[in-house]
Homo-oligomer: A and B are copies of this chain.
C-alpha cells in the first residue's frame, strides 16, 4: 500500500498548538517579560476553553519561560543579568562540544545549507529575521552530532535567552561581528577542523555574552527595570 500516511497519533493537540505559539512568542520577545498571561484571554484567542491553555502554561513554566504564583497567574519570566551570564556560559560549554561531534560526520549538504543561512544572515535587512537565521545557522551545524539530548538542552537554553540575543544583535554592533564570526566557524567546519570550529564557537558565544551583559548593565542602570 502506498499512501502518504501521516501519524495521526502524533497530531498536535490544542495544548500543543498553544504551547508552541506561546513559546515562540516569548522566545522572540513578542510578549515582553513581566507581562501576565491571562488564561481566559489566551483561550479566547485560540477559541478553546481554559483547560488546554493551562496545560500549555504549565509546560512553559516547566521550561522556565514563565513563572507562576498560585491564583495569581503566569508572568513571562525575566532573567537577571547573572542568569543571562550563566546561560550563555552554559551554552559556551555545550555548543562547542556538540559541534565537535557534528563535524566528524556532517554532510556536504548540511554545510551548504549552513552557508546559505550565513549568507542570508549577512544580507538580510529586516532585523527581525536575524535571530531566526542566526539560530538556523548554528542548528544546521549541530544537527548531525547524534546527540539529541544535548540538542534539546541547548534549544531550551536558547529559548530562555533568545530575546536577549536578538536585542544584542540589533542594539549593539553585534550583527556585523556575528556575521564575521559565522564565516570563520563555517570555514573551520568546511575544513573539518573540529578544534578550531569549537574554539571559535566558544568565543562567539562568550563574546556575545560579554557584549550583551555590558549592554544590559548600561540600560538597566538607566531604566531600573528590564525592557527586553
Contact residues of A with B, CB < 8 Å?
A: 8-11, 13, 15, 51, 54-55, 58-59, 62-64, 69-72, 83, 86-87, 90, 93-94, 97, 147-150, 152-153, 157
What is the predominant secondary structure among interface residues of chain A facing chain B?
helix
Determine if A70 and B13 form an interchain contact, defined as CB atoms under 8 angstroms apart. Answer: yes
The list of the 9 closest CB pairs from A to B, nearest first, reads A62-B62, A59-B62, A9-B69, A86-B149, A55-B58, A9-B70, A58-B58, A87-B149, A86-B147
Residue from the list B55, B83, B153 in contact with A55, Cβ < 8 A: B55
Complex contacts, A71 vs chain B, CB 8 Å = 9
Shortest Cβ distance from A169 into chain B, in angstroms? 22
Q: In whole angstroms, how far apart are the Cα atoms of A54 and B15 in the complex?
A: 12
Closest to A149 in B: B86
Determine if B150 and A86 form an interchain contact, defined as CB atoms under 8 angstroms apart. Answer: yes
Complex contacts, A87 vs chain B, CB 8 Å = 149
Determine if A90 and B9 form an interchain contact, defined as CB atoms under 8 angstroms apart. Answer: no
A-B contact pairs, 15 of them (CB 8 A): A8-B70, A9-B69, A9-B71, A51-B51, A58-B59, A59-B59, A62-B62, A62-B63, A83-B149, A86-B148, A86-B149, A90-B149, A93-B94, A149-B157, A153-B153
